[in-house]
Amino acid sequence: MKYFLWIWPLFFLLPACRNEPAVKAVKRPDGDYSEIIRIEEGAFDDRSDTVHVPKMHFEETVYDFGTITEGTKVRHSFPYTNAGTKPLVIRVARSTCGCTVPYFNDKTPLPPGGKDSIVVVFDSHDKMGPQNKVVTVVANSYPNKVKLYLRGTVVPAK
């Protein structure tokens, strides 16, 4: 009886150990999920086009604003170029907290070779000590995310 308690879970686990490729459901245009197409995991990973895409190239990604007094607003422009072959569109730029606000052009696509900038404003009100603020920029480029950093120290106002 004791051996039976150890062996019966194997009957449930063995069928799960079959060596089959991963199954991925593909949605048809009419919304029918009845057809399941077998696609091996990672089958299309090596076919990614990284040449004929927009590429966001920043002149700098880190800005050290040094030491400032509390309440000072730091404003810095991060210039970038579309080094790719297709128009670049920034979808979103978000910061890690509400004290850091990015401003960018999300309406007009930037043509290949075009230049623009993202302006980041950091408000040091109620911020003390070392600061490391991150702005994540997401675009239709390769790679699709770039992180911009504002670093410095905030000291109390006298």
Q: What is the pTM of this model?
A: 0.68
Residue 61 — very low, low, confident or very high, per pLDDT cuts 50/70/90? very high
Amino acid identity, residue 55? K
- Domain membership of residue 48 (yes or no) is no
Residue 35 within a domain: no
* Residue 153 pLDDT exceeds 50: yes
* Between residues 103 and 2, the one the model is more confident about: 103
Angstrom CA distances, 2 to 6, 7, 9, 47, 92, stand at: 7, 9, 13, 54, 61
Does residue 135 sit within a domain? Answer: yes
Is 16 within a domain?
no
User: pLDDT exceeding 90 applies to what percent of the chain?
Assistant: 60
Selected residue with higher pLDDT from 111 and 11: 111
* C-alpha separations of 58 from 24, 48, 73 in Å: 38, 23, 23
- Residue-wise pLDDT tens digits, 81-135: 999 999 999 999 999 889 999 999 888 899 999 999 999 999 999 999 999 999 9
Residues 6+ apart with CB under 8 A from 113: 81, 82, 83
CATH value at residue 117:
2.60.40.10
**pLDDT score of 156 more than 80:** yes
102: preceding bond cis by omega (within 30 degrees): no
Q: Please state the domain count of the chain.
A: 1
Residue 70 in any domain: the answer is yes
In a domain, residue 51? The reply is no
Helix, strand, coil share of the chain (percent; to 5) = 10, 45, 45
- Closest to 128 (Cα-Cα) out of 62, 68, 65: 68
Q: Regarding predicted confidence, which is higher, 46 or 93?
A: 93
Domain hosting 107: range is: 56-155
